[in-house]
Amino acid sequence: MAKATARQSKAIVELAASMKARAAQVQAKRIARPRELKIKIPPMDATPERLAKEPDASMIEVKDEKNAAGSIVVRRFRSTHLDRLHKNGKLTLQQWQAGEWYRNKHDEGHPSPRVTAQYGHHVPGGEPSYGLARTEYQLRCRQDWLAARSCWTRDQQGFMDRFLVRDELPRYGGRKAMRNIAFIRDALEEMRDYLRY
C-alpha cells in the first residue's frame, strides 16, 4: 500500500508538472501572438451625390477571399466614352469640360419630350406642356445648348449628339478609330473655343 501511494503521489507530481509546462506554453503563445480584434465594418456605399448623378449603377457580386462568406456585393458605376477618353489621355481637361458642359445643358434643358413621368415638375392646371420649357431655368439651358450646338456643322452635330448625349461611339479598329478620336477632339476644341475655356 505504501508503494501504491508513492506511485500515485509520483504520478500526481508528474501530472502537475506537465500541466504547469502546458500552461506555460499556452501563456507564451498568448504573449507572442497578440489577439486579433474582429471588428464588423458596415459595407460602404456611394455618397448620395454620386448616386443622384448616376442612379442606374449596377450591383454585382465579387469574389473576396478575405470575406468569410466568400463574396461581397459592390456597386459599379458606368463611365462614359468621354470619361474614358479623358482618362486615357486622348482628350485634354478643357475638351472634357466642354463635352461635360454640353451634356449637362442637354440634360437640364430636356429638349426632347420625356415618356416617363417626372414627379418634380408640375404643369399648372393639369395642362400638357407640348414639349415647351416648364421653368425659366430649363428655357435658359435649352437656349445655351442650342447656341453652343450652332458652332458645329450638321455632320458634327449628329455625331457629337450620339457621342455625348446618347454615349454611343462606333467601334472601329486601326486608322478609323484614330479618325474618330481626331474628329471628336476637333469638335470639342470648337466647343471649348465657343465657351472660352
pLDDT (average), residues 109-127: 56
**pLDDT for residue 127 is more than 70:** no
Which among 195, 166, 170, 193 is positioned nearest to 181, based on CA atoms?
170
Between the CA of residue 98 and those of 79, 147, 148, what are the distances in Å? 17, 14, 10
pLDDT band at 187 (very low <50, low <70, confident <90, very high): very high
Q: How many other C-beta atoms can be found within 10 angstroms of the C-beta atom of residue 186? A: 13
Q: Please, is 179 exposed, middle or buried when counting C-beta atoms within 10 Å of its C-beta (0-12, 13-18, 19+)?
A: exposed
pLDDT digits (tens, 9 = 90+) for 40-91: 666 666 777 767 766 666 666 666 666 666 676 777 667 888 988 998 899 9
Residue 126 pLDDT: 47
User: What percent of the chain has pLDDT above 90?
Assistant: 17
pTM of the model: 0.55
